[in-house]
Amino acid sequence: MQLPGQTNFYKGKVRDVYTIGDKYMVMMVSDRISAFDVVLPKPIPYKGQVLNQIAAQFLDATKDIVPNWKISTPLPNVTVGYKCETYPVEMVVRGNLTGHAWRTYKSGKREICGIKMPDGMKENDFFDKPILTPTTKAHEGHDEDISREEIISSGLVSKEEYEQLEKYTLALFERGREIAKDRGLILVDTKYEFGRIGDTIYLIDEIHTPDSSRYFYHEGYEERQRKGEQQHQLSKEFVREWLMDNGFQGKEGQQVPEMTEEVIGQISERYIELYEVVTGKTFQKHDVNKAEEEKKLVEVVNKLLA
């Protein structure tokens, strides 16, 4: 597909991004799915629509905190927005000792990204207050942990701008937790990406989706913690667990297990469940017609350029 005024095209793991006149971006969220930095061989029906619509809802719900890149969502799986100069760090924020932070803690370390973690914590316990554990943005391979001090001293982000990114990140996370609580959920951890146009900082990319965030169900959380049981969670983790159960962790020489129609259907249903729980809305399936999609996007872009 070639759009009017198109100056660049980027095909990511799960998204196709068209740059228009170096001023706008058309982001198409595909049904491709990745795990362990590997794109799995078969797409998941409606996954792109789920992620795009959740992100759009949360971008609208947080635009009073920080401006964001979104202009419109002309199609359920497409967002059109401003092209920003991207900051080279991802702002990861954690409310609970989970995932990478827990693996670090379990290994005996009590510091992550320059942040001290107290002794005596169990997996999934709440931190006294959310902690920021930023990472570098890797175009290939894994993002790397980095501390606030390293970001500023290396000149990746100026001190003044980084302090503003911290404020925005904590305010966005607080809003996300409030919305999650209303849905019977706990927003456990997430990441935000930021860019700028001139001197203005913008929130970019997706926000509070199950691919970029982890949610626990609030009901039964305390009891499960007390008993040392795993939390009932709502995230993409179930895909990783299925892969691990079938002998795949993205390591050299490992084969992606066969994704049968039954498995693909189950994953699609889980994504739709995620959408409905996180947004409180009934999911309306939209089947993409490529010709109609292209016609609609050409119309939208022509209006932007007019």
Write the CATH number for 140.
Answer: 3.30.470.20
Residue 239 lies in a domain: no
pLDDT tens digit string along 170-187? 999 999 999 999 999 999
Range of the domain at 126: 86-234
- What DSSP line would sit under the chain, residue for residue? ---TTEEEEEE-SSEEEEEETTTEEEEEE-S--EETTEE-SS--TTHHHHHHHHHHHHHHHHTTTS-BSEEEEEETTEEEEE--EE-SEEEEEEEES-HHHHHHHHTT--EETTEE--TT--TTPEEEEEEE--EE--SSS---B--HHHHHHTTSS-HHHHHHHHHHHHHHHHHHHHHHHHTTEEEEEEEEEEEEETTEEEEES--S-TTTEEEEESTTHHHHHHHTPPP-EESTHHHHHHHHHTT-SS-TTPPPPP--HHHHHHHHHHHHHHHHHHH-S--------HHHHHHHHHHHHHHHH-
How high is the pLDDT of residue 140?
55
Residue 73 lies in a domain: no
> What integer is the mean pLDDT of 200-219?
94
Residue 127 lies in a domain: yes
pLDDT tens digit string along 12-48? 989 999 999 989 999 999 999 998 888 999 999 999 9
> What integer is the mean pLDDT of 245-269?
91
pLDDT tens digit string along 65-88? 999 999 999 999 999 999 999 999
Residue 301 lies in a domain: no
Number of domains in the chain: 1
How high is the pLDDT of residue 142?
61
Where does the pLDDT of residue 139 fall: very low under 50, low under 70, confident under 90, or very high at 90 and above?
low
Residue 253 lies in a domain: no
pTM here is 0.92
Residue 283 lies in a domain: no
